[in-house]
Amino acid sequence: MSYNLPRDLEEFRKVVRDFAEEKIRPIAFHLDQSKEFPKEIVRLMGEMGLMGIPFPEKYGGAGLTNEHYAIAVEELSRVDGGVGVICSAHTSLGT
19 three-class SS: helix
Output the pLDDT for position 2.
66
Q: Going residue by residue through the chain (95 aa), what tens digit of pLDDT does each one get?
A: 567 889 999 999 999 999 999 999 999 999 999 999 999 999 999 999 999 999 999 999 999 999 999 999 999 999 999 999 999 999 998 87
Inter-CA distances, 82 with 18, 37, 52, 76, Å:
17, 9, 17, 9
Assigned CATH for 7-94: 1.10.540.10
Report the candidate in 52, 56, 55 with the shortest Cα–Cα distance to residue 72: 52
Amino acid at 2: S
Amino acid at 4: N
Domain ranges of the chain: 7-94
Q: Does the global pTM surpass 0.75?
A: yes
